[in-house]
Structure formats: C-alpha cells, structure tokens
Amino acid sequence: MKLWQKDTTSQPAVHQFTAGKDRMMDQYLAAQDVVGSLAHIQMLERIGLLSKEEWHTLRETLQKIHENIQAGQFTLAEDVEDVHSQVEMMLTEQLGDLGKKIHAARSRNDQALLDIRLFLREQLEAIVLQMDRLFQLLQEKSEAHQGDLLPGYTHLQLAMPSSFGLWFGAYAESLADDLITLEAAYRIVNKNPLGSAAGYGSSFPIDRTYTTELLGFDTLSYNVVNAQMGRGKTERIVAQALSNVADTLGRMSMDICLYLNPQFGFLAFPDDLTTGSSIMPHKKNPDVFELIRARCNRIKALPNEIQLITTNLPSGYHRDLQLLKENLFPAFEELRDCLNIAGMMLQQALIKKDILTNPQFDHLFSVEAVNQLVKTGVPFRDAYKQVGRSIEAGNFTAPKKIAHTHEGSIGNLCNREIAQQYQLVRDRFPFQLIQLQIQRLLTGE
C-alpha cells in the first residue's frame, strides 16, 4: 500500500518502471529522513499540531529508528514505495494513529528536498575532510622537493625548467581553488526547503525559521516555488564542484602516468603499488592512476548529465528529478576513494634526482640564456635570435644555474600564502555548528 494510494492500484509494469532504482537510492537518505522528521515534529509541537506528550513519543521512536539505521538494521519493505513511506509506516505500526500525524504540513516533495540537502551537506563535508589531507601532503611534498628540478612542457614539447616542488605545489593550489567552488556549492545546499510542501506552501502556521535553526541551516529557501525549483539546480551545482576536484585529480594522474613512462622516468613507486603484465615480465603499470583518471572523467560528466535531465522542465516537481540520485549519490564515494588512494600513492612516490643534468634537456635553458643576454643590455628580440641561431647551429651551451625568485616560481613557491588562502575558505564551512545541532535533535538535549 502506498501513502497516496486510494482505491486503484498501479499495474505492476507501471510501478516497476516508475520506481526504477529509486528504492535503492533512498537507502542513502534513511538517516537524513529521520533527522528531518525530528525537526518537523518539534516544530509541529511548537505550533500546537502535536501535544508535548505526542512529540516526546514520536521523538523517542524516531531516535530508535535512527539508531537502527546507523547499525545497518534498516531496509525498505517490499511493498513500501520509498524511505519516507517506510519511516512513517514504522511509526504507525508502533504508535498507531499517532504515527500518521507526522506528515501534517509537509509533502514527500519537501521531504525529499530536505533529505537530499542534508545528505549533500554531509557528503560535501566528507569530501572537504579528505581534501584537507591531500592538500597538506602536497604542500609537504612541495617543500621537500623544491630543489629537485623537472622538465616543464608546453604542447608536450620541452619548454622551461620546473621542479617537483613547483609541480606538487601547483596541485595543492588547484585544490585550494576547488575548495572555493565546494564552499559555494555548500552555501546553496545549506538552505532549508522544509515547509515548501508540494511547492506551494501550507495553510498551517508552520515556523520555517525554527526548523532552519534546528537543522543548522544558514538560512531558508524562502520562496516555496523556488525551493522546489532548487531540486536539479542544487545537484548540478554540487556536481560541478565535484567535477572541479575530479579535474585536478585527473590531470595530476595523467602527469604521473607520463612521468612513470621509462622514456620520462621522472618518478617511480614501490613494486607493490604497481601492477604487471601476464606476458611481459618487465611491466610496471600505473593502474591506480589510470583508474583515477577514468573515474574522475566520469565524475566530470555529471554536471552535463544533470543539465540534460533537467532541460526544459517547468517549475514544480517532476518525476524526471528522481533519476538525479543514481549518478550523483555514488559519485561522492568514488571521489573520496580517488582522493584517498592518490594520497596513499603520493606518500610513497620515489622522486628521481638530477634529471636535468642529462644533455637531452639542455634546450630547457634557452630562455635562461636569452635572459642573461637581456641583463647585459641586449634587446630581448635580438637576444632571442642570437640564442635561436646557436641552437640551430648546434653550439648552444646551457646555463644550468637558474635563479627564479618571483612569487610562485621555482625559488619562491609561496606555499605559506597558498595554505593561508586554503584555510581562509576552509574556516567558512560551519561543520561543527551543524554537527552540534544534529546531535541535539538525535539526543533530545
């Protein structure tokens, strides 16, 4: 029996098609559904739709359901449509008519909106915590390898001297930029849609500001129509933020795949972190980084998938939106796995020393030679031609002593400034406040 069902039942084929994978996806939202209901019933008691005794009874039962969810003892019954229905039916089974009162002044539409935002908020926090660790590692590696020079490339051709310090530091700062977009996505997520009901509000005198405070949201999604329109848009914004992190990881992984190639040979990993070939005994394959690259490319496709699913939808709720969960929800775990394994691998990376002493890299220093002539008063274009002719004639001598001192260069990595930028954004996430508010709901303190 479905909550909305009256005297007519849907044909099995219709039910199976419309349900799709939604029941499985709803398992992700079980804990959030209970937390949202705890805030909702506390508000209902406040406005007089529940007595204090009814509220206490419902709260205790919901708290026990949450404990079962955390213990992995929660499933959707075969005849139950979604997680919202499952929680309400469990309450009704245990409490009778009192369990039926929990749905006053809300719809499954704003329940789903709320559950998804609570879930996205938790998942973004987990991504940020994982990023913290990788960012710190990249900064440490950058400092440790500041003096280990590395060829820099443009168009995959030799360009100018770089260093592992510069390379590690570049990806640290890229994560700092990615954190800005994660924080922006978090601000969109951290608005309370509860009370928008089916998208047009309620005739009950509900207190939406109160549930906003109870759930630790920054503010409301005030306009109830806009709250409903936020579904799809919110997921797309979050997916874009995830794709930025994925892009950083994917590009770094591609670099590493190149650098591991024997024709480059710039770094290596212990044998137990690479894989081999069933036929070629010499092979040491960078499977981890190839899979990071592929998985991150899949995450980078998410914003476009969500954009296309929501294209041409008018205002209000539409069943199309159900499909957004299927790719977005698993992407969080996939990105966390990529962040984690990338950190584990980089921790054990073996950096080759003195790479640029090899004469094959002499042309990396052509700009250094040009700049030396400029310092003596030769106009830049004349110096450029002079060095170019010496290279073409085969008598170029590389000035391998370099002195890059400006901000962000080999000799002045500015890691401290990058760390300050990262921390400035990081401090704007209200994780502790939100955890405190949710704990209060779950414990009744």
Structure tokens at 311: 């294209």
pLDDT band for position 353 (50/70/90)? very high
Start-to-end CA span in the chain (Å): 36
Helix or strand (DSSP H, E) at 220: strand 219-220
Convert the pLDDT of each residue in 83-132 to its tens digit: 999 999 999 999 999 999 999 999 999 999 999 999 999 999 999 999 99
Convert the pLDDT of each residue in 118-133 to its tens digit: 999 999 999 999 999 9
pLDDT at 260: 94
Across the range 418-445, mean pLDDT stands at: 95
Q: How far apart are CA 239 and CA 34, in angstroms?
A: 25
Q: Do 87 and 74 contact (CB within 8 A), yes or no?
A: no
pLDDT at 4: 45
Structure tokens at 284: 């040491």
What letter represents residue 279's amino acid? I
pLDDT at 8: 58
- The residue ranges of DSSP E strands in 112-193, in sequence order, are 149-154, 157-163, 191-192
Across the range 183-192, mean pLDDT stands at: 98
Q: How far apart are CA 233 and CA 94, in angstroms?
A: 38
Domains of the chain: 12-103 (1.10.275.10), 124-149+162-196+219-357 (1.20.200.10)
pLDDT at 273: 81
What letter represents residue 88's amino acid? E
Across the range 232-236, mean pLDDT stands at: 96
Give the burial class of 249: count Cβ atoms within 10 A of its Cβ; 0-12 exposed, 13-18 middle, 19 or more buried: buried
Buried b (16+ CB within 10 A) or exposed e, 338-347: bbebbbebbe
Q: How far apart are CA 208 and CA 216, in angstroms?
A: 12
Q: 3-class secondary structure for 384-420?
A: HHHHHHHHHHCCCCCCCCCCCCCCCECCECCHHHHHH
Convert the pLDDT of each residue in 131-173 to its tens digit: 999 999 999 999 999 999 999 999 999 999 999 999 999 999 9
pLDDT at 286: 85
Model confidence at 15: pLDDT above 80:
no
